[in-house]
A = this chain, B = another copy of it.
């Protein structure tokens, strides 16, 4: 019997693949096992269980999102940065809806995700710094921004916007709304 040569990372890879075409709800150890060509119990040699696997996938995805967003705002500031951030965010979610949905809702609470989560938060905070926002005002602004992008993309990817009007148009308007809500201090 040749060994499969798995590793924790490889199992997470497989899990991401499973999520990509079955959604987070389709993430089962059985599916991951099938995908890696191994019997389900063997996965326990690399992962303590389904719970940990979910956490690991979450961390992986958060890092991926952080990379994308960082790249998108690189070299930009203020409205330019916010616009780029919002487009990149939506772009990621649309490209990988399953992965996005696999992010646990409260990463900052879980020690295993706190690190990745706070790095992602830092990207948002950095953009707010460009407006001279710090501390509480920056926190509120980031929350607003997160609410907007998460809300829109969550509804969009779950097919919650029933009607036919262009979603791009809606999103453009949403970006305007956010920009208008940020401090207009002269540059």
User: Which residues in A have some Cβ–Cβ distance to B below 8 Å?
Assistant: 105-109, 117, 121, 136, 139-141, 143-144, 146-152, 154-155, 158-163, 165, 167, 169-170, 173-174, 176-178, 180-181
Contact = CB atoms under 8 A, between A and B. Distances in A.
List the number of copies, as a whole number: 2
B105 A158 contact: yes
A121 B141 CA distance: 28
Contact of A109 (B162, B165, B177): B162
B109 A140 contact: no
Nearest to A172: B140
Contacts of A139: 163, 165, 170
A interface majority secondary structure: helix
Nearest to A177: B181
A121 B162 CA distance: 10
A105 B159 contact: yes
A66 to B, nearest CB: 16
Contact of A147 (B140, B148, B163): B148
